Structure 1
Amino acid sequence: MSLAVSLKHAFAGFTLDASFDAPNGITVLYGRSGSGKTTIVNALAGLLHPNQGHISIGTQTLFDSQTGQHLPASKRRIGYIFQEGRLFPHLSVRQNLKYGQWFAPKSAPKSDFDQIVEMLGIAALLDRRPARLSGGEKQRVAIGRALLSSPQMILADEPLAALDDARKEEIMPYFERLRDALGIPILYVSHAGTEVARLATTIVVLQDGRVVRQGPAGEVLSDPDVTPLGATAAGVMVQARVTAQHNDGLTEVLTGGLPLLVPAAAYSVGSTLRLRIEAQDVMLATEKPNAISALNILPATVATLRLGDGPGALVQIKAGENLLLARITRRSVEALNLQVGTPVYAVLKAVSIPRGAIGDQHPTL
């Protein structure tokens, strides 16, 4: 099932004109605040009547300005996961979950209550009220409520923004499971690079109400011309396979045909992972460094160069089968005489890839 969106809508001082397709998996709407992400989500949920456009999920049309069709929000079979969870405070966790199930259409396939409770690890919470839950627990319950409504699509509007880093790390594996298991489109709003790299299968980049890039996550994130949050937030997502677990707290993986050491990741040998590598953590050298503390030294070739308006530059390099980004200064570009095709070594400290930037990758994706 695929989501097709084409929207035009004007506010005072802002115009949205965006078209994209979202296949099964997690499609991330990525961009700065005010780029139009939440406007699109509200239009999909039926909370906003666009001036013009078309929205469909599979063969079902939700909105079409030419025919005048506008399916009410209550009939769209969309599970909505909000930033704050928004659970009913006077109901127990069990009752909040049943509320989502109560709204599922009679004709829709019924979700298995016990299976969802087990998947989200919330069996011990069923008799509690929301006031006795942590932020991460509330979000897991909110995910369960959305799933139990038997949705044909899920909207997640910055669902981790209100959580601290520890709670984000707690919740992201559950979104990874949804991405790989549900078989429906999940539209996920975020402007956090680590979330995008760990979760996205598809990325739609928005800027000033327009789609400036869309496509598979790996391709979009490695594009040096697509930095909607600025060069300081640039980084790529690569896939890797665990090849060894070392006794000194490091995990060895193979990515793009090259070995890489990262902080200990709790995955067995043979597991497939996604890694977020930030451009600011990659150094470049034209000769292989010796006697250096950095453990990852990867042979590479300069693929593209993008010089910034200030002192910075973003260099795209080909390391094995991967495209990586390195954020360096223009002065360094000149000192190293970097050009397209220049052979280099990418230097990356193992500890520069935090555990929160390591996520599960379903092998069939």
Structure 2
Amino acid sequence: MLTVDVALARPGFALRVAQEFAPDGVTAIFGASGAGKSTLLRVIAGLERAATGSVRFGGEVWQAPGLWLPPEARGIAYVFQDARLFAHLSVAGNLRYADRRARGLPGPGWGEVVQMLDLGPLLGRRVAGLSGGERQRVAIGRALLTRPCLMLLDEPLAALDAVRKAEILPYLERLCGLHGLPILYVSHDIAELARLAENVVVLAAGGVAAAGPLAEVLADPALAGALGPRGAGAVLAATVAAHHVDDGLSELAHPAGRLFVPLIVAAVGSPVRLRIAADDVMLARARPEAISALNILPAEVTALAGGPGGVAVGLRIGPDAALARITDRSARVLALEPGAQVFAILKTVAIARDDLAAALRLDRHPAP
């Protein structure tokens, strides 16, 4: 487990973070620009000598008063926004460089990394001839071949356009749970994090505003303001129940009812995760009839939090936490309070991630 208790002061900014991170899987580091996300990763990696406090991983102490291990002694792999590959080497040369330096260490081997990231066709290519997405795949492969004990990804998709981002996300999904490798993943894109992370640490003004399971944090009404209008919301777990090709829809089973989303490529029975922004949820006291929306689920109000943008309404939809953002007037008219039974009308449902990394959107338009 990674434990940090660090501080770093700069002109106009101060980082102060005391946090334990999950021992495996992907933990998202989320926050607005300037919140301290990248700075925190640099402190953990040992790239900020001016930082004070302690950094511990497992039974090792990387930093403490009077002790500081250099980055190369920490066993960390760091992937930046730009791939930072060796331009004078081929793809194979970049990978071999890491593989040779880590020979004998436990972790993924050459064959596993090349296959997982589909790097075989690229091995003989020069770095200059790669697309942005291909460069990031090679950078991730090189990082994995160092056999790290911890992987830091600092907005690895930020420099890519939507097409390249969609190309590389399935490969990132394959990293989840790889050899129990813990990954800290920095991003300001909630939809991206919903596909990849199980836990999240939210930073604001250099400090921790919230931390915990991603689905619970995103659906916390008290955090709606910090997460922003498109950040706050829900991540629902469902299963593919059927495909309606003529309608261009896939039907999903959720404990609270059935949902329809744009047609996806995934076998019936496959698990999927749905990302639903709070602004895409409408509420009704009675189940609406003769309405175009296909996705209507019963829900229970769990909490309410007021703010300048209206009222954030915490919901329980089956076993999952969810969130709706409505006006003060709507909350009064509906007489909402904890325990109230309502119906959640989901205006937009997007596939977030399936555990098999096989759910690919065929139609990018939102479900009606």
TM-score where L is the length of structure 1: 0.92
Q: How does 1:152-231 map to 2 (within 5 A)?
A: 152-227=149-224, 228-231=226-229
Question: How many Å separate the matches in 2 of 1:51 and 1:159?
Answer: 24
For residues 46 and 100 of structure 2, what CA distance do their matches in structure 1 show? 20
C-alpha distance after superposition, 1:250-280 (max 9, x if no partner): 2222234422111222211221122111111
**Other-structure match for 1:10:** 9
**CA deviation digits over 1:262-305, x for unaligned, max 9?**
12222112211221111111111112111111101111121111
Partner of residue 355, structure 2? 361
Query: What amino acid is aligned across from residue 285 of structure 1 in structure 2?
Result: A
Structure 1 distance, partners of 2:356, 2:236, is 13
**Mapping for residues 1-365 of structure 1, pairs under 5 Å:** 2-22=1-21, 23-65=23-65, 68-104=66-102, 106-109=103-106, 111-227=108-224, 228-247=226-245, 248-310=247-309, 312-349=310-347, 352-354=348-350, 357-361=351-355
Runs of 5+ consecutive residues of structure 2 not aligned to the other structure: 358-368
* In structure 1, distance between residues paired with 2:88 and 2:337: 63
Q: CA deviation at 1:362?
A: 6.6
Deviation at 1:50, TM superposition (A): 4.4
**RMSD in angstroms over aligned alpha carbons?**
1.8
User: Structure 2: how far apart are the matches of 1:200 and 1:344?
Assistant: 29
- 3-state SS of the aligned residue for 2:78? strand
Pairwise CA distance, 1:138 = 1.0
Q: CA deviation at 1:110?
A: 5.6
Displacement of 1:358 after TM fit?
2.4
Describe the SS at the equivalent of 1:226.
helix
SS at match of 2:221: coil
Q: Is the 8 A contact 2:256 2:298 kept in 1?
A: no
Aligned residue pairs: how many? 354
SS of equivalent to 2:54: strand
Report if the CA contact (8 A) 2:31-2:37 is conserved.
yes
Conserved? CA contact 1:26–1:202, under 8 Å: yes
Q: Tell me if structure 2 keeps the 8 A contact 1:265–1:358.
A: no
* Runs of 4 or more consecutive aligned structure 1 residues displaced over 6 Å after TM superposition: none
TM-superposed CA distance for 1:361, in Å, is 2.8
Unaligned runs of 5+ in 1: none
Moved more, 333-342 or 158-167: 333-342
- Within 1, Cα distance between the matches of 2:113 and 2:163? 23
Q: Distance in 2 between matches of 1:64 and 1:212?
A: 24
Deviation at 1:317, TM superposition (A): 1.4
Instruction: Give the Cα separation in 1 of the matches to 2:106 and 2:39.
Output: 29
Could you give the per-residue CA deviations for residues 77-134 of structure 1, whole angstroms, max 9, x where no partner exists? 1111111111122211111111222332x55226321221111011111111122111
Q: Within 2, Cα distance between the matches of 1:252 and 1:3? A: 40
1:304-359 Cα shifts (integer Å, max 9, x gaps): 1112124x22111122222211122122112222222222111114xx223xx421
Q: Is the 8 A contact 1:193 1:235 kept in 2?
A: no
